[in-house]
């Protein structure tokens, strides 16, 4: 008798998710608690484990389908998988046809997409991201050796195959053609023009909704300053080896800014406050949301009580967040709350930006790339490693004077890190 696999509880107020990827194929054996599928919710990816050991007998939903909490998405049977049912194929409108024959999931909408090798397995499954990459680069997935879990093909595998194909392909000689009607027509005829419709992920929809909510609700304003990073870079250069040897983690710049924000928030508490109805809620702690890049979008896990942490504790927490954001193992509880946000666009090369606050927070500090620029010191023009700082804030709660004061306190602490040690 087959055992049903149900969508687990996904967190408070979350009633549904998107089936992002099947991790097991029908006929494959699974162990107890081994993940068979991953679900995408508003904030994180959640793996669905098998409740029993056995063989995946049936998939009741296709990748990309919306599934509710408690819904049966698969069935686990006993035995070695011989004669197991195949996954339910998607119909033209994207719905599932349980009675139809199994088909190899391939990108749709491109008549020039490569045809799978006849010797390739008939149940080759690709994640949505990999399917898009296959469609874009015109490669045959059946000829790619997967480096992912259980030999699955990853997006990097597709890109490597496309690069190898382009390197081995000789440029064909141009055939003689009649004169073109116009230069524009000549340019347009050089390649095929295509469009691809991809449904927004649940995470991307949530990000879009929250950012628009911030613009519609808050009175957003951004103020800027710049900071000389010489002192922090010098301190980091002198102590990074000893720091890593003692704490087992590299000393980065983010811990300096988190500590500086905690110091500045004591002088300007409104930056660490929020509006609830007709009341202002002030927090005597600093829970810092740090923007981390994940494969499916930006996530903002929270460093709890960052004001009470050491430099090493902050760096270890941030490193852990970054690692787990990439593999999708961050929990929803880790991204709830937060009283203030720090977003470091400098890691992507950003020179200047106007970040948007993360409701119900009232302020976000934007960091940018460090760039050597000429500045005047003691009447002399010198070159210094400079960084632009941006503070976006809700003007309903924070006045311009307070915003500027907060940034000045950040600037003072970074340019003279001793202030962080003596709480000045």
Given 80, 267, 333, 395, the catalytic residue:
395
- Joined together, the tokens standing for residue 376 give 């005047």
CA dihedral (15, 149, 134, 97) in degrees, to 10, reads -50
State the DSSP string of 235-280.
HHHHHHHHHHHHHSS---SHHHHHHHHHHHHHH-GGGGEEEETTEE
137 is catalytic: no
Given 284, 399, 416, 423, the catalytic residue:
399
Residue (of 178, 173, 199) closest to 189 by Cα position: 178
d(CA 269, CA 134): 51
112 is catalytic: no
Residue (of 296, 274, 396) closest to 341 by Cα position: 274
- Joined together, the tokens standing for residue 9 give 């509880």
- Joined together, the tokens standing for residue 170 give 């000789």
Name the 3-class secondary structure at 74. Answer: strand
C-alpha pair distances (Å), 276 with each of 164, 210, 320, 359, 362: 56, 17, 32, 11, 11
Q: Are 356 and 214 in contact (CB under 8 A)?
A: yes
The catalytic residues are 395, 399
């Amino acid at each position: 008798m087959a055992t049903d696999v149900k969508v687990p509880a996904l967190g408070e107020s979350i009633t549904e998710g998107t089936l992002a990827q099947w991790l097991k194929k029908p006929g494959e054996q699974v162990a107890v608690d081994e993940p068979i599928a991953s679900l995408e919710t508003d904030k994180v990816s959640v793996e669905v484990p098998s409740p029993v050991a056995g063989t995946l007998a049936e998939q009741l939903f296709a990748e990309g389908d919306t599934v509710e909490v408690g819904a049966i998405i698969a069935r686990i049977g006993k035995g070695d998988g011989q004669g197991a049912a195949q996954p339910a194929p998607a119909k033209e409108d994207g719905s599932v046809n349980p009675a139809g024959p199994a088909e190899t999931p391939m990108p749709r909408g491109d008549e020039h997409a490569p045809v799978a090798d006849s010797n390739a397995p008939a149940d080759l499954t690709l994640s949505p991201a990999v399917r898009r990459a296959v469609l874009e680069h015109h490669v045959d997935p059946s000829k790619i050796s997967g480096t992912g879990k259980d030999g699955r093909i990853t997006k990097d595998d597709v890109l490597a195959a496309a690069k190898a194909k382009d390197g081995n392909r000789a440029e064909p000689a141009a055939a003689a053609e009649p004169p073109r009607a116009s230069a524009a027509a000549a340019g347009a005829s050089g390649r095929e023009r295509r469009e691809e419709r991809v449904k927004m992920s649940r995470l991307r929809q949530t990000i879009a909704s929250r950012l628009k909510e911030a613009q519609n609700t808050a009175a957003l304003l951004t103020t800027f300053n710049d900071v000389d990073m010489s002192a922090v870079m010098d301190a980091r250069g002198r102590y990074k080896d000893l720091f890593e040897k003692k704490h087992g983690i590299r000393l980065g710049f983010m811990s300096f800014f988190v500590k500086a924000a905690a110091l500045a928030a004591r002088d300007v508490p409104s930056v660490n406050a929020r509006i609830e109805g007709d009341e202002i809620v002030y927090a005597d702690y600093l829970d810092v949301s740090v923007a981390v890049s994940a494969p499916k979008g930006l996530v903002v896990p929270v460093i709890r009580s960052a004001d009470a942490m050491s430099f090493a504790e902050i760096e270890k927490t941030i490193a852990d967040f970054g690692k787990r954001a990439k593999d999708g193992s961050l929990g929803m509880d880790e991204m709830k709350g937060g009283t203030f946000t720090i977003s470091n666009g400098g890691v992507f090369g950003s020179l200047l930006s106007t970040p948007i606050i993360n409701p119900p927070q009232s302020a976000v500090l934007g960091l940018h790339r460090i760039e050597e620029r000429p500045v005047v010191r003691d009447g002399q023009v010198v070159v210094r490693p400079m960084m632009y700082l941006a503070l976006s804030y809700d003007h309903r709660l924070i006045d311009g004077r307070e915003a500027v004061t907060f940034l000045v306190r950040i600037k003072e602490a970074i340019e003279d890190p001793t202030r962080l040690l003596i709480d000045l």
